[in-house]
């Protein structure tokens, strides 16, 4: 069916300009200059003391002479070849002939500008580079719709654009939404009924708040939001050469960082503290084993073959994940949009220059041995024991600048750079002081549990030798006992010497006694209320995952090349609320149960979630109205909720949970993807950027790319249909659920129960009739075919029940099942 052959084929040739056509500066000229020239000749930088961001500045700087093309150096420079060409060869291609022709024509026509043209504002005044100030909550007409401050900001926009907010979603759908959003599992039919009952007994508001508080207190909350943050922080299990196996990237023990994320969220640890622990736990909490694994954030980027790449990834993603800054764009040259010089790129890298990895012994586990550094000729083994973490190893490590993004091309005329963050964010004045590392942290063999283990091991050896001697007396046996005793004595004496600081043969690895303090300084600068970016970037990520749309669409670029926020004041208000929660306003929605909010500490994510899901904005239905759609078809002003496809893990988790078969254990060793029949949640399976790096089922549903998942993409493709229809685990779960729901129910009651259980709503009359007809048809089909043998997990021999199994499969495939409405 070669449809495309019948389509009109256009051979597009750059159109020649019509003679006499008048050139529009704003539409045709300024965009070219902005794209190709402003970064060096605008507000950001003024190379050759020239600015091209207004006609007046162009003229004053001598770049153009209106009406006189031959006297306008601008034209000469864009047309010349070689070193003098603008933009320089290093900045890419020359302007196209059409662009050049436009510029010539414009100058010829007198270089007309626009009235009151303003130069580009100072980049430091860019909205995201100024500290957020809590904006005044707007007063709106539709006050009775407003449940909390979020709604006031949203309603103000509605009123500006003539939009009417949609009504609250049906209770069942709202319940399903908030369950899936907060814990990633759907409510059961029983939970739905309980909620409806409570709503009738108390008030719907009280019932809803109770649910929200219960969900936020659930340990599954940490799993749900843990996976979101794992996306942002690029969680990846080890990779490199999986098939060998040979560990090149990340580490086999990295899952402990995942468990730290889950626990930190469940404990509602402040986001600021989380950042600090991820970047510098070894400096700020050197003896806290639970916190040290947070540096998995740094470990994840480790790359055996090239330490420069490790550092490059750390600079790029620390910039993007926490700051919404594309630091990486300043790797080869000064940043084109933001005031970040190439030197500042390298200064940022210098925070990470001294780092190295180590793997610490974990209580109750055998010694993992020393971390295997990279040796070109040796495979790196998979070590699953121990806790992997970062430490400062080379205190004098120098950061050298290089050209062209290639570490071979060192800039020989530039001295090594000192650590620092971009000056325009006051990052150049950080106080960096070396940190003394406590004894048990730099000499971990002195941790009580380790030397107790070691002593016990030696005592057991003596006992074993003594038992052997008793069984078989003799000189040889005596010698062994003696040796074992000597070994214990020697260990004890070395241990005593070690504790007293005397000279001795070490009883374990000894790491440096000081750390540079560089990462601590970096972490404190990022996780700081004075940093204008950190809180904004975080609340934007949270908002995105509740509403399926971000306030700033470019979630990792809040710089001048990023998108403007759709609701700047709301973003700032939320950022301030994250950093310093106010006691709840006495408005509906916050009032009935203020305890959680009142107790919320600074940087509390749970507080923010609670505010969001209690808002009227969040509770609207996701189906729309034609009137609103006419004004705002893309729902940019949030006049309805956005329906969204469940994430890959949530599809699988929901099917398991709805069948009552989910294994609810939290955390622990990573699961290999071949264990696909495991009933644990999706986030516990291996994720890595190689073939086999996802459960096959999850891959088909857009599982996260572990190298770039700042926001996930959603696709609809036939393989999803095949996976839902043919996956053996899902078929088996469907049968389990069909039998559970079938008990003593008529077909009609079964259909209702199945809809309520899987979609949290009752079927419409038409749906009921269609499904009833289907059940009869399937049962008839089964009656006319051979009865299946009874096998575990197989279809029911009873045609009626077997038809119901079939209906459950259909509902798993319903768009409303995989969609959060």
Partner 1 sequence: MTHRRTFLADMGLGFTGLALSAMLQRDGVVPAASPLPAAGEGPGVRGNSLHHPAKAKSVIWIFLSGGYSHLETFDPKPALNRYAGLTFDRTPFANPLRSPLHDQRSRSVVAAEINQRDTYPIIYPMQVGWRRHGQSGIEVCDWLPHIASCVDDLTFVRSIYTTDNDHAAENQIHTGRHRLDEVQPSIGSWVHYGLRSLNDNLPSFLVLGGPTRSDTRASIDANYLGPRHAGIPLNLDTNNPLPNGRRSPDVLADEQRNEFDLINRLNGLAAVEYPDDPNLRARIRSYELAFRMQTAVPEAIGLMRESEATRRLYGLDQANTRLAGERLLAARRLVERGVRFVQVYPSPYGVWDSHRALRSNHERLCATIDKPVAGLLKDLKQRGLMDDVLVVFCTEFGRTPGLEQRGGGRDGRDHHPHGFTVFFAGAGVKKGHVHGATDELGFHALEPGHYVTDMHATVLHLLGLDGRRLEVPGRRRLNVDFGEPILEILA
Helix crossing, 568-579 with 534-547: angle to 10°? 110
Query: How far is Cα 816 from Cα 821, in angstroms, rounded to an integer?
Result: 7
Provide the greatest CA pair distance for the chain: 115
Asked whether the beta carbons of 156 and 140 are under 8 A apart, the reply is yes
Q: Is 528 exposed, middle or buried (0-12, 13-18, 19+ CB in 10 A)?
A: middle
Judged by beta carbon, residue 502 or residue 674, the one nearer partner 1 is: 674
- Token duo for residue 305: 């073959």
Interaction pattern, residues 662-691, with partner 1; x per rule: CB under 8 A = ---------------------------xxx
- Token duo for residue 770: 């269609």
The reply on whether position 467 binds partner 1 by CB under 8 A is: no
The reply on whether position 699 binds partner 1 by CB under 8 A is: yes
Asked whether the beta carbons of 579 and 535 are under 8 A apart, the reply is yes
Interaction pattern, residues 236-275, with partner 1; x per rule: CB under 8 A = ---xxxxx--------------------------------
Which listed residue (56, 726, 783, 787) binds partner 1 by CB under 8 A? 726
Which range binds partner 1 by CB under 8 A, 68-76, 193-201, 262-270, 780-788?
780-788
Judged by beta carbon, residue 22 or residue 713, the one nearer partner 1 is: 713
Taking alpha carbons only, the member of 595, 638, 631 closest to residue 615 is 638
SS (H, E, C) 55-109: HHHHHHCCCCCCCCHHHCHHHHHHHCCCCCCCCCHHHCCCCCHHHHHHHHHHHHC
The reply on whether position 90 binds partner 1 by CB under 8 A is: no
Which listed residue (138, 307, 508, 512) binds partner 1 by CB under 8 A? 307
- Token duo for residue 9: 């084929």
Q: Which residues contact 118 (CB under 8 A, 6 or more apart)?
A: 54
Which listed residue (101, 705, 748, 798) binds partner 1 by CB under 8 A? 705
Query: How far is Cα 441 from Cα 438, in angstroms, rounded to an integer?
Result: 5
**For tokens 């259980």, what's the residue?**
757
- Site for partner 1, residues 5 to 44, rule: CB under 8 A: 7-12
ω into residue 49 within 30 of 0, thus cis? no
The reply on whether position 4 binds partner 1 by CB under 8 A is: yes
The reply on whether position 714 binds partner 1 by CB under 8 A is: yes
Judged by beta carbon, residue 143 or residue 719, the one nearer partner 1 is: 719
The reply on whether position 62 binds partner 1 by CB under 8 A is: no
CB of 731 to partner 1, least distance (A): 5
The reply on whether position 783 binds partner 1 by CB under 8 A is: no
- Can you point out the beta strands (E) in 607-740? 644-645
- Site for partner 1, residues 786 to 815, rule: CB under 8 A: 788, 791, 794-795, 806-807, 809-810, 813-815
Which range binds partner 1 by CB under 8 A, 114-122, 219-227, 474-482, 624-632?
624-632
Q: What is the dihedral of CA 519, 521, 526, 531, to 10 degrees?
A: -160
The reply on whether position 306 binds partner 1 by CB under 8 A is: yes
The reply on whether position 171 binds partner 1 by CB under 8 A is: no
Which listed residue (675, 728, 749, 797) binds partner 1 by CB under 8 A? 728
| Size of residue set near partner 1 by CB under 8 A | 90
Judged by beta carbon, residue 465 or residue 698, the one nearer partner 1 is: 698
Which listed residue (693, 747, 757, 804) binds partner 1 by CB under 8 A? 693
Interaction pattern, residues 532-561, with partner 1; x per rule: CB under 8 A = ---------------------xx-------
CB of 623 to partner 1, least distance (A): 5
Judged by beta carbon, residue 629 or residue 762, the one nearer partner 1 is: 629
- Token duo for residue 539: 């609340």
Q: Is 728 exposed, middle or buried (0-12, 13-18, 19+ CB in 10 A)?
A: exposed
The reply on whether position 725 binds partner 1 by CB under 8 A is: yes
- Site for partner 1, residues 401 to 460, rule: CB under 8 A: 406-408
Q: Specify the DSSP element, H or E, that contains 296.
A: helix 296-299
The reply on whether position 782 binds partner 1 by CB under 8 A is: yes
Judged by beta carbon, residue 30 or residue 242, the one nearer partner 1 is: 242
- Token duo for residue 357: 């990895």
Query: How far is Cα 511 from Cα 508, in angstroms, rounded to an integer?
Result: 10
Taking alpha carbons only, the member of 53, 63, 62 closest to residue 114 is 53
The reply on whether position 731 binds partner 1 by CB under 8 A is: yes
CB of 781 to partner 1, least distance (A): 6
- Site for partner 1, residues 759 to 778, rule: CB under 8 A: 764, 766-767, 770-771, 774, 777-778
The H-assigned helical ranges of 319-351 are 342-350
Which listed residue (489, 781, 787, 797) binds partner 1 by CB under 8 A? 781
The reply on whether position 376 binds partner 1 by CB under 8 A is: yes
Q: Is 219 left (phi over 0), alpha (psi -120 to 50) or beta?
A: alpha
The reply on whether position 629 binds partner 1 by CB under 8 A is: yes
């Amino acid at each position: 069916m070669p449809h495309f052959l019948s389509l009109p084929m256009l051979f597009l040739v750059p159109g020649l300009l019509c003679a006499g056509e008048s050139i529009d500066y704003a539409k045709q000229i300024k965009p070219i200059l902005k794209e190709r020239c402003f970064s060096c000749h605008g507000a950001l930088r003024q190379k050759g003391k020239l600015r091209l961001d207004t006609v007046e500045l162009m003229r004053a700087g001598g770049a153009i002479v209106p009406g006189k093309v031959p006297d306008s150096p601008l034209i000469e420079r864009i047309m010349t070849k070689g070193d003098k060409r603008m933009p320089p060869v290093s900045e890419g291609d020359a302007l196209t002939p059409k662009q050049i022709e436009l510029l010539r024509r414009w100058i010829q026509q007198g270089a007309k500008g626009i009235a009151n043209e303003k130069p580009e504002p100072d980049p430091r005044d860019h909205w995201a580079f100024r500290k957020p100030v809590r904006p005044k909550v707007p007063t709106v007409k539709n006050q009775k719709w407003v449940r909390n401050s979020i709604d006031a900001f949203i309603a103000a926009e509605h009123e500006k654009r003539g939009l009417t907010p949609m009504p609250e979603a049906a209770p069942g759908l709202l319940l399903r939404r908030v369950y899936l959003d907060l814990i990633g599992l759907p409510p059961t039919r029983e939970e739905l009924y309980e909620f409806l009952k409570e709503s009738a007994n108390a008030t719907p508001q009280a019932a809803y708040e109770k649910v929200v508080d219960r969900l936020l207190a659930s340990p599954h909350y940490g799993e749900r939001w843990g996976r979101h943050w794992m996306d942002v922080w690029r969680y990846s299990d080890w990779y490199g050469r999986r098939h060998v196996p040979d560990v090149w990237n990340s580490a086999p023990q990295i899952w402990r960082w995942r468990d730290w994320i889950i626990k930190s969220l469940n404990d509602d640890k402040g986001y600021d503290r989380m950042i600090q622990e991820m970047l510098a736990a070894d400096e700020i909490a050197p003896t806290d084993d639970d916190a040290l694994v947070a540096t998995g954030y740094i470990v994840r980027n480790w790359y055996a073959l090239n330490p420069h790449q490790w550092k490059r990834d750390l600079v790029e993603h620390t910039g993007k994940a926490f700051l919404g800054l594309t630091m990486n764009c300043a790797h080869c040259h000064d940043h084109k949009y933001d005031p970040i010089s190439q030197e500042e790129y390298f200064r940022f890298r210098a925070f990470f220059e001294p780092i190295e990895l180590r793997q610490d012994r974990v209580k109750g586990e055998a010694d993992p041995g020393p971390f295997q550094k990279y040796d070109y000729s040796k495979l790196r083994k998979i070590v699953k024991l121990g806790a992997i973490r970062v430490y400062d190893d080379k205190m004098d490590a120098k950061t050298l600048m290089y050209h062209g993004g290639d570490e071979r091309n060192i800039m020989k005329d530039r001295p090594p750079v000192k650590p620092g963050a971009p000056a325009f964010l006051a990052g150049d004045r950080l106080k960096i002081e070396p940190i003394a590392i406590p004894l048990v942290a730099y000499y971990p063999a002195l941790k009580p549990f380790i030397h107790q283990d070691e002593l016990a091991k030696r005592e057991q050896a003596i006992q074993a030798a003594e038992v052997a001697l008793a069984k078989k007396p003799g000189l040889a046996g005596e010698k062994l006992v003696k040796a074992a005793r000597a070994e214990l004595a020697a260990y004890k004496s070395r241990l005593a010497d070690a504790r007293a600081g005397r000279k001795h043969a070490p009883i374990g690895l000894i790491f440096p006694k000081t750390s540079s303090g560089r990462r601590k300084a970096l972490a404190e600068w990022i996780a700081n209320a004075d940093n204008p970016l950190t809180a904004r970037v975080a609340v934007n990520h949270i908002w995105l995952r509740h509403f399926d749309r971000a306030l700033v669409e470019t979630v990792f670029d809040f710089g001048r090349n990023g998108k403007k926020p759709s609701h700047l004041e709301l973003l700032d208000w939320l950022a301030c609320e994250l950093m310093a929660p106010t006691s709840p306003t006495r408005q509906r929605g916050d009032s009935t149960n203020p305890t959680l909010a009142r107790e919320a500490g600074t940087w509390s994510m749970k507080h923010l979630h609670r505010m969001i899901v209690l808002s009227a904005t969040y509770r609207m239905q996701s189906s729309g109205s034609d009137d609103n759609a006419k004004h705002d078809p893309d729902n940019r002003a949030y006049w309805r909720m956005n329906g969204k496809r469940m994430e890959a893990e949530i599809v699988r988790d929901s099917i398991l949970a709805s069948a009552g078969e989910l294994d609810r254990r939290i955390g622990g060793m990573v699961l290999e993807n071949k264990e696909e029949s495991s009933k644990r949640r999706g986030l516990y399976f291996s994720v890595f950027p190689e073939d086999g790096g996802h459960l096959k089922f999850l891959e088909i549903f857009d599982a996260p790319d572990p190298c770039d998942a700042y926001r996930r993409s959603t696709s609809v493709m036939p393989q999803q249909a095949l996976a839902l229809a043919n996956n053996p685990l899902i078929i088996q779960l469907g049968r389990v659920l069909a039998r559970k729901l079938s008990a003593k129910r008529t077909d009609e009651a079964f259909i209702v129960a199945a809809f309520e259980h899987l979609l949290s709503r009752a079927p419409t009359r038409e749906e009921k009739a269609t499904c009833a007809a289907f059940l009869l048809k399937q049962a008839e089909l089964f009656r006319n075919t051979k009865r299946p043998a009874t096998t575990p997990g197989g279809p029911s021999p009873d045609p009626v029940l077997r038809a119901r199994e079939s209906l459950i499969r259909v509902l798993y495939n319903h768009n409303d099942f995989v969609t959060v409405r």
